[in-house]
Amino acid sequence: MSTFKIPLHKPFWGREEEKAAILAMRSGTGVGDLSFSENLSEELKQSLNVAYALPTGSGTAALELACDSLLKKDDEVIVPSFTFSSCANAIILAGAKPIFCDIDINTYNIDPAALEKLINKKTKAIMVVHYAGFACDMDKILNIARKNKLYVIEDAAHALGASYKDKKLGTIGDVGCFSFHGTKNVASGEGGAFVTNEKKISHIAEIIREKGTNRSAFMRGERKKYTWVHVGKSLILSDILSAIALEQIKKLDTITMMRRKSASYMLSRLEKINSKLILPHEPDNVYGNWHIFAIRVPRLVRDHLIKRLRAYGIEASFHYLPLHSSKMGAKLGYKVGDLPVTEEVSATLVRLPMYPGLKKSEIDYIAAVIKKILL
Ligand SMILES: Cc1ncc(COP(=O)(O)O)c(C=O)c1O
C-alpha cells in the first residue's frame, strides 16, 4: 500500500479480476497458454484489430521478442533516449546497437527530423515510444521507414486504448509491444503482449517466446510432437495473470474515459495557476489515454516542487533519466549534452498522480498545493 494520500498510480481492479484469478487457479496449473491466455489473445486481436497477439510476461519481454524476431548482429536501431531501459536492453540483447535520438519539445516523442539524420546502412529498425499514451508522428515515421526499408517497432507500453488518426497505437508499425505492469492503464501486476499483422514475424516470435520450440503449433494440434528449433527465451504469461489482464481489457474503454475525464479536470484547474507551468496537451489527430499526466516547470524549481508535493502526501515524481546520459549510456559512448531536448524535458518534468477514480476533490487539492508551492 502506498503511504501517500494521493498515490501516483492505482490499478482499477474489482471483483471481476479477483474472481477471474481464483477461477484460473482452480481450473489449471497457472502455466501460460492455457484457456485464459488464449482468450486474452483473442480479446486483444479483436479489440486491436490485429492478426496475431501473443501474451508475454512483461512489456520488456514483448520488446525482447520484437528485437529477437527482427534483428541480427550489428544492426542499428534508432530509439529515443527518453524511455525505459527495457528498450535499449532489448536491442542490445538481440546483438544490435541502440542509436539514441532526441525528442520533440512539445510531445516528448521521437523527433522525426532528428531520426532521419541518424539513418545509415546499418540501420534496421526504428523503435518508437508513445510517451504518456500520446501518439508519435506516425505518418512521418512510416514515410521515413518505407523510404529506407526499416522496421517500425512500436513500444506501446503506455499506449493501450490510445490512437492516431483512428488507428490503435501498437498496430501501426510492424510490431507492437504492450505492458500490463501494475502501474499501467491495463494492469495484471506483471504482463504484456506482442502484436503483429505479419504471419512470418508471428511465426518466429511464437517459437522464440516458447524457449525456442514449436510447442505453440503442437498445442494448436498442428504437430504431433514439439522440439527445439531456434534459440529462444521463456516469455509467456501465466494463465492466472492472463485471467486478470483479460478482465482489465474488457474495461479498457471505461478506464480510458475515466482517465480522460480526470485529465481534463486537472488541466482546467492547473491552467489558472501560473504561466510558468507547461501543461500537457492532446495534439491534432491523436486520441490519448493519459497514462501519464506530466507538467513541466523551470529547472531550478523542479526538485523542490516534487519534494514539497510529496511532503503534502501527493506522490509526484520525475520521469526518465535519459538513457544516453546514464552510466550505461556512457559505456555506449554517449555523454551529457548529446541530446539537448531530451535533457531539458527530463530536468523539468514533474509527473502528477493519474488513475481512474482520481476524485475531483483530490485534483482540487493537488492544484491548490502546486499553487501554494509555486507562488
Ligand atoms: C516505455 C516503456 N517501455 C517498456 C517498459 C517495460 O514494461 P514492463 O515493466 O511491463 O516490463 C516500460 C516500463 O514502465 C516503459 O515505460
- The pLDDT tens digits of the residues spanning 330-357 come to 999 999 999 999 999 999 999 999 999 9
* Contact yes or no for 134/162 (Cβ under 8 A): yes
One-letter amino acid of 278: I
Mean pLDDT on 189-209: 98
In short, whether 155's Cβ falls inside 6 Å of ligand 1 is yes
Residue 321 CA to ligand 1 center (angstroms) comes to 14
167 by DSSP, 3-state: which? strand
Residue 90 CA to ligand 1 center (angstroms) comes to 11
In short, whether 84's Cβ falls inside 6 Å of ligand 1 is yes
Q: Which three cell numbers, joined as nine digits, stand for 329? A: 549510456
Mean pLDDT on 91-99: 98
Q: What pLDDT is attached to residue 57? A: 98
pLDDT tens per residue across span 39-49:
999 999 999 99
Angle, helix 239-250 to helix 35-48, in steps of 10 degrees: 30
In short, whether 181's Cβ falls inside 6 Å of ligand 1 is yes
Atom nearest to 190 CA in ligand 1: 10
Atom nearest to 61 CA in ligand 1: 11
Give the helix ranges, DSSP H, for 118-251.
138-148, 199-209, 215-219, 239-250
Give the helix ranges, DSSP H, for the chain.
15-27, 35-48, 59-70, 85-93, 112-117, 138-148, 199-209, 215-219, 239-250, 252-270, 299-311, 327-331, 340-348, 360-374
Atom nearest to 191 CA in ligand 1: 10
Q: Which domains does the chain have, with CATH numbers?
A: 15-250 (3.40.640.10), 252-374 (3.90.1150.10)
Of 134, 181, 320, best ligand 1 pocket probe by most atoms within 8 Å of the beta carbon: 181
Alpha-carbon 34 to chain mean position: 25
Mean pLDDT on 285-313: 97
Mean pLDDT on 125-132: 98
Q: What pLDDT is attached to residue 28? A: 86
Cα separation, 343 vs 331, whole angstroms: 18
Residue 176 CA to ligand 1 center (angstroms) comes to 13
Residue 155 CA to ligand 1 center (angstroms) comes to 8
Q: What pLDDT is attached to residue 1? A: 65
Q: What pLDDT is attached to residue 241? A: 98
Residue 43 CA to ligand 1 center (angstroms) comes to 21
CA dihedral 251, 256, 262, 267 (to 10 degrees): 180
Mean pLDDT on 152-169: 98
Cα separation, 273 vs 276, whole angstroms: 9
Cα separation, 146 vs 148, whole angstroms: 5
Strand partners, 164: 167, 286
Mean pLDDT on 181-187: 98
Cα separation, 225 vs 203, whole angstroms: 17
Question: What is the percent of the chain where pLDDT is above 90?
Answer: 97
Q: What pLDDT is attached to residue 275? A: 74
Angle, helix 85-93 to helix 59-70, in steps of 10 degrees: 30
Q: Which three cell numbers, joined as nine digits, stand for 358? A: 482520481
Please state the length of the chain: 375
Phi/psi of residue 201, nearest 5 degrees? -70, -45
Atom nearest to 62 CA in ligand 1: 11
In short, whether 129's Cβ falls inside 6 Å of ligand 1 is yes
Q: How does strand 175-179 pair with strand 192-196?
A: antiparallel
Q: What pLDDT is attached to residue 272? A: 85
Phi/psi of residue 320, nearest 5 degrees? 55, 100
Q: Tell me, yes or no, if the pTM score tops 0.95.
A: yes
CA dihedral 223, 227, 232, 237 (to 10 degrees): 60
Of 58, 84, 190, 323, best ligand 1 pocket probe by most atoms within 8 Å of the beta carbon: 84
pLDDT tens per residue across span 230-253:
999 999 999 999 999 999 999 999
Residue 291 CA to ligand 1 center (angstroms) comes to 12
Whole-number average pLDDT of the chain: 97
Atom nearest to 83 CA in ligand 1: 1
In short, whether 289's Cβ falls inside 6 Å of ligand 1 is no
**CA–CA distances in Å: residue 97 to residues 88, 205, 332:** 8, 20, 9
Mean pLDDT on 4-30: 97
* Contact yes or no for 208/69 (Cβ under 8 A): yes
pLDDT tens per residue across span 266-283:
999 999 887 789 999 999
Mean pLDDT on 82-111: 98
Q: With 80 as the cut, is the pLDDT of residue 228 above it? A: yes
**Which residue in 329, 351, 258, 288 sits closest to 134, CA to CA?**
288
